[in-house]
Amino acid sequence: MTDGEVRRVTRAVYPGSFDPPTNGHLDVIERAAGYFGELVVAVVVNPQKRTPMFSLEEREEMLAACVANLSHVRVEHFRGLLAEYVKAAQADVIVKGLRVVSDFESEMSAAMMNRSLSNVDTLFLMTDQKYSFVSSSLVKEVFFLGGDVAALVPEPVLRVMSEKRTNLQRR
């Protein structure tokens, strides 16, 4: 970009495992939707960290229900490298949420790697502080051990989680 040239951001990609989506994710989605012409919530098919508890279909359906009222937000999925996906999707930026300082350490190197692979920058939004302790993995652990997570996940997510718990208890 040359001096004085302005690059307008229109299409942003918010990637994640969303296993399951939490109120922290939704907070980032709603706030990011206010900044970009188009926001694509991109669900990774095979998360690196662990086998997801919720199928790709379940994760996409939960997200679609959560963003149904946001007209310029859509849900997609991707396999493999995020950098390849954002290039193919012709995204202008990647959006990520940061909860605590320790998130920044891994996100910084991921942002640099993704930029070197795709020339697409990552913009960070701080999660609302009331969700700074909320992670998908903690929500799952608490819920499946009988804890109340109603304040931590959107209503469509709670419904799917409750169905899954009932199915697991039947086995």
Distance CA 3, CA 121 (A): 18
The one segment of 5-13, 40-48, 119-127, 147-155 that binds ligand PNS by CB under 6 A: 40-48
Q: Which is nearer to ligand PNS, 46 or 90 (CB)?
A: 46
Q: What character string, x for contact with ligand PNS (CB under 6 A) and - otherwise, covers 123-162?
A: ----------------------------------------
Contacting ligand PNS (CB under 6 A), which of 56, 89, 98, 110?
110
Catalytic residues: 25, 49, 99, 136
Distance CA 63, CA 26 (A): 9
The one segment of 43-51, 55-63, 147-155, 158-166 that binds ligand PNS by CB under 6 A: 43-51
Minimum distance, C-beta of residue 140 to ligand PNS, in the bound complex (Å):
13
Distance CA 116, CA 129 (A): 31
Number of Cβ atoms within 10 Å of the Cβ of 56: 16
Minimum distance, C-beta of residue 125 to ligand PNS, in the bound complex (Å):
14
Q: What character string, x for contact with ligand PNS (CB under 6 A) and - otherwise, covers 73-92?
A: --------xxx---------
Q: In degrees, to the nearest 5, what angle opens at C-alpha 23 toward C-alphas 143 and 84?
A: 105
Distance CA 92, CA 121 (A): 8
> Do 113 and 33 contact (CB within 8 A), yes or no?
no
Report phi then psi at 9, rounded to 5.
-90, 125
Chain positions contacting ligand PNS, by CB under 6 A: 15-17, 44, 47-48, 81-83, 110, 113-114
